Structures are given as C-alpha cells and as structure tokens.
Amino acid sequence: MAGRRALILMTSGGRYEGPMAGWDHGMSLARQEFQFMGFSAALREARKMAAAWYGA
C-alpha cells in the first residue's frame, strides 16, 4: 500500500480525557487496522490534524 492515499473520517460524541481516555476505542481500533494495512503515514497526518483542530 506504499504510495497510496487514505481518507479517514471519524466522529465522536466528545473528547475522551482523563479517567475516560480508556473509553476511546475508535481511534485505537482504527490505528491498528490502518497500521496493519500499511497506512502509518496517514495516521501521523490524522493525529496532526486532530491536534490542530482540537488543541490536543
């Protein structure tokens, strides 16, 4: 899958922080699935965008 692009769209009902951080299964599952498929660069970009949007 090297050299291919991926579009990752995820929604959430809020931010999972502090003691609730363990409840955020969506991002951890997506991270494992995309790493398995070879999209590790896409995950790095998604994290950068999320940090820029949400100040994380």
- Give buried/exposed letters for 15-54 (b at 16+ CB in 10 A, else e): eeeeeeeeeeeebeebeeebeeeebeebbeebeeeeeeee
Mean pLDDT score, 11-35: 79
Q: Is pLDDT at 16 greater than 70 in this prediction?
A: yes
pTM, to two decimals: 0.49
Predicted confidence at residue 6, as pLDDT, reads: 64
The overall average pLDDT reported for the chain is 75
Angle, vertex CA 50, rays to CA 2 and CA 48, nearest 5: 50
Segments making up each domain of the chain, as ranges = 28-56
